[in-house]
Structure 1
């Protein structure tokens, strides 16, 4: 029995050492600024390379004390998972504020999971253990609120009103809609109805969301993430939808053509670029891309 107890102790000790070694992992190279990757906590965010922006944004933020008191009566029933990039300006601004709000509410630290994602092309907005898998993380920061292990709602990139008011809405009435609703809708279609479902819905989606979507980058970033996860056909359909939403912007045509080109759809890529050049005859990038695709 004594031997068994000692063995169990060493296994437990080894597991704790392993977990502590992977927490707050920093990636440093000669070509890129250091960044955190994988599961982290506040200790990582207040370490040498990140403390300047974390502490200044934390200290400078003025809390909405009235709303904080209301949040505090609800929020301890929730678990929160936060995805961020220590290389991302929106994360640098919003995450310290979010921490300050949680601490003002005495939110239990063990109910918060924080994951730092990569900005590298081969792991774009992913983590080594892929905690983001299946969660439609296309913008950082993303704050996901869970209750009884089910997602209730999320704040994506930045608050619609303020962090305090957005959080209060989620944990009380929960009629909150985050930014980038078109991405939410497209992701849901892909999840439930697959690629053919998105193809069938594209025309109606363009009609419905054209008055609502303010930037081509809403879907463009989502398409990049799909492509980085080798969901190439889905990425192409997302870029096609983006062209319908923003036909007046050359970059939507270019994103579609380039993705078609690298995916082996050379003739279709050429067709897209030739049509775009008729619309934008003076755009040198389109002409150059057409030349590259034709000669490769």
Structure 2
């Protein structure tokens, strides 16, 4: 796994600099259109996106003192890689604000690369060119800041304070800690120590993060991403950890059981749901899930 990540890192610059279709839109009669692949501001100002983009862009008023600092401290020494989903509520809210901050800071917009990801189940939070591969993109929007070709920091899903204040931290003292720290730590373990390393450190992770994770969706979404890129055992390990952190949440057991089931581990899926029903005997979703897996 580590070798794969390194390979993607090496290929990062030529992939993004190669010619690609810009502002490609996916449309059909059954769902709302969305952009996919490399896009720019013109794409976000298109017919199906301009309402939310323009409204949130115009409504945001960045702190002028902080904007001045961004200009003085060399924001233009950085490149930014932004992942978003034009179907995503957080992207609709946050991405226009980020554009406003960057433009008010006189950031060179040719140093911003924007990638729109898919909402489709078989390509969830992926792009056709797989710009996101190896970059741990589990939430959108995610803005990654690079300097001299290396990642310096990132803002995940939404700022801790505001975009201008978070960026100020990143380009000055860089003590910034983005959202979803447990996901960052698990991803680092997988990159550096592999699946065995994660399995060995599960108890330590449980102890460190017990009561400190905002919701079961932090790891649930990350597990879905791992499964989507074919890292099945890694996903199952993450889902198992989630059932321990959130044993009071029936959905954690269903995510684990369903992944076990579609991965050919029907007996383990049944065992997982049976255990969950003992903990939550009145939960009809668990009972229906168990019956469905037994009947398949």
- TM-score interval for Structure 1 and Structure 2 normalised by the shorter chain: over 0.9
SS at match of 1:86: coil
Cα offset for 1:211? 2.5
Report the counterpart of residue 212 of structure 1 in structure 2.
212
For residues 201-280 of structure 1, what are the structure 2 equivalents within 5 Å?
Answer: 201-280=201-280
Cα offset for 1:182? 0.3
How many residues were matched structurally?
A: 278
TM-score where L is the length of structure 1: 0.92
Cα offset for 1:225? 0.6
TM-score where L is the length of structure 2: 0.92
Report the counterpart of residue 66 of structure 2 in structure 1.
67
SS at match of 1:55: helix
Q: Distance in 2 between matches of 1:27 and 1:265?
A: 35
Does 2:194 correspond to 1:186?
Answer: no
Report the counterpart of residue 10 of structure 2 in structure 1.
none
Report the counterpart of residue 56 of structure 1 in structure 2.
55
SS at match of 1:35: strand
Cα offset for 1:233? 0.8
Runs of 4+ in 1 over 6 A off after TM superposition: none
SS at match of 1:126: coil
Cα offset for 1:119? 0.8
Bigger Rg, which one: 1
Q: Report the aligned-residue RMSD.
A: 1.0
Q: Distance in 1 between matches of 2:124 and 2:282?
A: 32
SS at match of 2:140: coil
For residues 29-44 of structure 1, what are the structure 2 equivalents within 5 Å?
Answer: 29-44=28-43
For residues 1-296 of structure 1, what are the structure 2 equivalents within 5 Å?
Answer: 19=19, 22-73=21-72, 74-296=74-296
More relative contact order, 1 or 2 (CA 8 Å, 6+ apart): 2
Q: Distance in 2 between matches of 1:109 and 1:277?
A: 53
Q: Unpaired runs of 5+ in structure 2?
A: 1-17
